[in-house]
Chains A and B, each alone.
Chain A
Amino acid sequence: MTAAPDTNIVLKGRELPRPAKVAQVVDSVTFSVALYTLIVGIIVYGAYSGAQAMGYNWQWYRVPQYFYQQTDDGFQLGEIVVGLGQTLVLSGAAFALAVILGLILALLRLSGLVVCTAVSIGFLELIRNIPLLVLLYLFYYVLGPIFGYDRYAASILCLGVFHSVLISEIFRAGINAVAKGQWEAATSIGMSKAQAYRYIVLPQSIRFMLPPMTGEVVHMVKSSAIVSVIAVAELTTIGRNIISDTYMSFEIWFTIAAVYMVVTLILSVGVSFVEKRYAVEQ
């Protein structure tokens, strides 16, 4: 700002040169909004006109029945809502598993014992370097028959294990972010290592972990879609089923994508709300 905030103040110093006219225009909000609208408009128009050109028959009116139905039996939830519920239960269970496994991995890694560190790093590299899809096939087609569990258990195990290595890194970074002096202070009042973790270090590291953990929750909900390839009933599988019944692939995939987006956006907003409250408490 070149002008004084209060016009009663007389500035003694020389006024500084203003930025160039072009820079002022490019930096303005109006210009940004206009440019953004233009780009989105081009993409939407391109998609729409492309669909028109191939003679696609849009049937949006048939979509709402998959959310809810009002029949003689009364109000009923549609397939998409049921599928969403299953996606959330699946992701929730897998996330719980991932957090527990991830914490164990992180503590093993940080234990300072050579064997534990090696086990943790070995597991981490193994899982991290296998594509999620291949991991799912391993859990379902190979480990499933060996240990005798079903496709639903395979999905939860696969997602849980895959995300546990990512979450263990979040834990590790969060724990390392707590100042060394905190360990020393906890130690010097006679706390054991376990007590120092429990009462001093972990509560503080939550603050560092929350933002990346949010990302991980969103990531989990999205990657849960992959279990549709082993036909576990969840949102993406439901979408495929509806399309094979109705051939409305454009409408349904747009809808499914929008549902995922709404859910993950709600999660992000919700967690950032929690973060703010936590930050105020400090």
Chain B
Amino acid sequence: MIAFENVDKFYGDFHALKDISISVREGERMVICGPSGSGKSTLIRCINGLEFHNSGVLTVDGVEVFEGSKEILNLRQEVGMVFQQFNLFPHLTVLENLMIGPMKVRKMPRAEAEKTARKYLDRVHIPEQADKYPAALSGGQQQRVAIARSLCMESRILLFDEPTSALDPEMINEVLDVMVELAETGMTMVVVTHEMGFARKVADTMVFMEEGRIVEVSPPEIFFTNPSSDRCRMFLEQILEH
């Protein structure tokens, strides 16, 4: 479904991704962790073309991703993204936030778009917030709306870029619960997060990155108990000791 082959990415002189080769199967849930600045966000932002890699081949859903590709707009409809800062549209109500993509991009009739929007708002457990503006919602609710917004596009892949990092601790679980439910539906998910409890529960594959390289790729049973690299072991000890 997603395949990186020897992908490199630079920001000016900074070598952000170094020779990345990894693939994600349809329905696979991959969790990526690593220290800040290790290239995790850059990696998933390349998948839907928010950033473009400089060399190597990246194919998503059979389509090659590169800057200037004619297919990129169509591809983005198939790849939803949830951001750390939610990025809801503040001038639109919750319902309109969910409807604008289907209506303007997928050319769905209004009535159908509203039906879809309400369905997914139910799915993230906040149907009663439909007519409010995002600013009136808590962080956890906003992030759930953001997830619903991606779902409304009926995307086949969902990318999560540290979805709970900007949330107050008591709101993290309501978002993670929604993500676990999503995982159970068989959605292909690539999640950058440090929520190891969530990772243990849903991940098929764990990835550890450092300094732009993929250091470790293993199933969670091995990743958490017996990682092959010392650096990964140290990282896990640091974030799990609390």
Contacts from A to B (Cβ < 8 Å): 179, 181-182, 184-192, 195, 199-200, 203-204, 207, 282
Contacts from B to A (Cβ < 8 Å): 48-50, 73-74, 76-77, 79-81, 83, 85, 87-91, 100-101, 104-106, 133, 135, 146, 149-150, 153
Residue contact B87 to A191, C-beta cutoff 8 Å: no
Residue contact B91 to A191, C-beta cutoff 8 Å: no
For this complex, 30 residue pairs linking A to B, each with C-beta atoms less than 8 Å apart, are A179-B87, A181-B85, A182-B87, A184-B81, A184-B83, A184-B87, A185-B146, A185-B149, A187-B49, A187-B50, A187-B76, A188-B50, A188-B79, A188-B80, A188-B150, A189-B80, A189-B100, A189-B149, A189-B150, A190-B76, A190-B105, A191-B73, A191-B101, A191-B104, A191-B105, A199-B100, A203-B91, A204-B91, A207-B91, A282-B135
Instruction: Note all chain B residues with C-beta closer than 8 A to A181.
Output: 83, 85, 87
Instruction: Note all chain A residues with C-beta closer than 8 A to B74.
Output: 190
Residue contact A189 to B87, C-beta cutoff 8 Å: no
Starting from the known contacts A187-B76, A282-B133, 11 additional A-B residue pairs (CB-CB under 8 Å) come to: A185-B87, A185-B146, A188-B76, A189-B77, A189-B101, A189-B105, A190-B101, A192-B73, A207-B91, A282-B91, A282-B135
Q: How far is the CA of A200 from the CA of B83 in the complex (A)?
A: 17
Residue contact A188 to B85, C-beta cutoff 8 Å: no
- Most central of A190, A191, A195, A203 by chain B CB within 10 Å: A190
Smallest Cβ-Cβ distance to B81: which chain A residue: A188
Instruction: Note all chain A residues with C-beta closer than 8 A to B135.
Output: 282
The 9 closest A-B pairs by CB, nearest first: A185-B87, A189-B101, A190-B77, A181-B87, A188-B81, A190-B76, A190-B105, A203-B91, A204-B91
Smallest Cβ-Cβ distance to B48: which chain A residue: A188
Q: How far is the CA of A182 from the CA of B105 in the complex (A)?
A: 16
Instruction: Note all chain B residues with C-beta closer than 8 A to A190.
Output: 73-74, 76-77, 101, 105-106, 153
Smallest Cβ-Cβ distance to A204: which chain B residue: B91
Q: Which of B73, B83, B106, B133 contacts A185 (CB 8 A)?
A: B83
Q: How far is the CA of A187 from the CA of B74 in the complex (A)?
A: 11
Min CB distance A96 to B, Å, is 24
Instruction: Note all chain B residues with C-beta closer than 8 A to A179.
Output: 87
Instruction: Note all chain A residues with C-beta closer than 8 A to B48.
Output: 188
Instruction: Note all chain A residues with C-beta closer than 8 A to B50.
Output: 184, 187-188
Q: How far is the CA of A270 from the CA of B26 in the complex (A)?
A: 57
Instruction: Note all chain B residues with C-beta closer than 8 A to A199.
Output: 100, 104
Smallest Cβ-Cβ distance to A186: which chain B residue: B89
Min CB distance A192 to B, Å, is 6
Smallest Cβ-Cβ distance to B77: which chain A residue: A190
Smallest Cβ-Cβ distance to A191: which chain B residue: B105
Q: How far is the CA of A190 from the CA of B91 in the complex (A)?
A: 19
Min CB distance A60 to B, Å, is 51
Smallest Cβ-Cβ distance to A179: which chain B residue: B87
Q: Which of A182, A188, A192, A195 contacts B89 (CB 8 A)?
A: A182
Q: How far is the CA of A185 from the CA of B76 in the complex (A)?
A: 11
Min CB distance B74 to A, Å, is 7
Min CB distance A142 to B, Å, is 43
Instruction: Note all chain A residues with C-beta closer than 8 A to B150.
Output: 188-189
Q: How far is the CA of A187 from the CA of B50 in the complex (A)?
A: 8
Instruction: Note all chain B residues with C-beta closer than 8 A to A191.
Output: 73, 101, 104-105
Residue contact A189 to B76, C-beta cutoff 8 Å: yes
Instruction: Note all chain B residues with C-beta closer than 8 A to A186.
Output: 89
Q: How far is the CA of A163 from the CA of B106 in the complex (A)?
A: 39
Instruction: Note all chain B residues with C-beta closer than 8 A to A195.
Output: 104-105
Q: How far is the CA of A189 from the CA of B82 in the complex (A)?
A: 10
Q: How far is the CA of A182 from the CA of B97 in the complex (A)?
A: 12
Residue contact A282 to B90, C-beta cutoff 8 Å: yes
Q: How far is the CA of A190 from the CA of B100 in the complex (A)?
A: 11
- Most central of A182, A187, A189, A200 by chain B CB within 10 Å: A189
Min CB distance B102 to A, Å, is 9
Smallest Cβ-Cβ distance to B134: which chain A residue: A282
Instruction: Note all chain B residues with C-beta closer than 8 A to A184.
Output: 50, 81, 83, 87
Instruction: Note all chain A residues with C-beta closer than 8 A to B85.
Output: 181
Min CB distance B123 to A, Å, is 17
Residue contact B88 to A185, C-beta cutoff 8 Å: yes
Instruction: Note all chain B residues with C-beta closer than 8 A to A187.
Output: 49-50, 76
